[in-house]
Copies of this chain bind each other. A is one copy, B any other.
Amino acid sequence: MARRTRQNILDVAGNLFGHRGFDAVSLDQIAAEVGVAKQTLLYWFASKDELIQEVLSETAIELTLVIEAAIRSAPDDPLDRMEAVVKAVFRPAVRRPSLLGLVREISRLPSESSERLTDSLRPLVERAVSWMRTEMDAGRLRRADPALIVALAYATVTGIATEPEALRVVGWNADIVGLRRLRDELIGFLRAALAPVSD
């Protein structure tokens, strides 16, 4: 029955890690927020490292599934397709803003588990890159370096996820504007930057 406890721990830990960072969050805090003793955490997860590892791989799986589903049912036009994928990435993030902040924590893991996660995302990235290259060759996207575009998009998304607080520095108020509008501006940006040049 109390298998739900495990899921609760994963959810709470995911939010806290994504929000404040791995090192800033203690097991005691997580336990308190779940409403459970610290030992219960350590019953379910052997260590703090294993906990975040589990959280991250759950997140990676979720994101992968969402993106793949979006690709399968996406329209054929490359710009529409990109819009669909970006929206798919944002959908879970809008619902649970701390989610993307987690990706940042990958680099703080012991290199071994960090690599395992990177590997699980790699196929998706490679697919995106080779797809963009094909579209560019066909003249349906403006020519550019696809790998760098993916890197930039990724940087932007994680930058947004870094914290609403951080964006407040540039006058962005999350409560008023909302992640959704920022997402739409990003999409408009991508469309403008990647539309094929009409010659």
Q: Could you say how many copies of this chain the assembly holds?
A: 2
Within A97-113, the residues touching B (CB, 8 Å) are 103-104, 106-108
Q: Kindly state the separation between the CA atoms of A141 and B13 in the bound complex, as whole angstroms.
A: 44
Verify B151–A158 contact, CB threshold 8 A. Answer: no
Q: Kindly state the separation between the CA atoms of A193 and B188 in the bound complex, as whole angstroms.
A: 8
Q: Kindly state the separation between the CA atoms of A176 and B106 in the bound complex, as whole angstroms.
A: 21
A138 at the A/B interface (Cβ < 8 Å)? no
Chain B: which residue is nearest A117 at the CB level?
B169
Q: Kindly state the separation between the CA atoms of A190 and B163 in the bound complex, as whole angstroms.
A: 23
Verify A142–B182 contact, CB threshold 8 A. Answer: no
Q: Kindly state the separation between the CA atoms of A121 and B171 in the bound complex, as whole angstroms.
A: 10
A154 at the A/B interface (Cβ < 8 Å)? yes
Question: Quick one: given A144-B185, A159-B155, are A166 and B107 in contact (CB under 8 Å)?
Answer: yes
For the complex of A and B, list the 7 residue pairs with the smallest distance between their C-beta atoms, beginning with the closest: A159-B159, A155-B159, A107-B165, A23-B24, A193-B193, A192-B193, A148-B185
Residues on A facing B (Cβ under 8 Å): 20-24, 103-104, 106-108, 114, 117-118, 121-122, 125-126, 129, 142, 144-145, 147-152, 154-160, 162-163, 165-172, 177, 181-182, 185-186, 188-190, 192-194
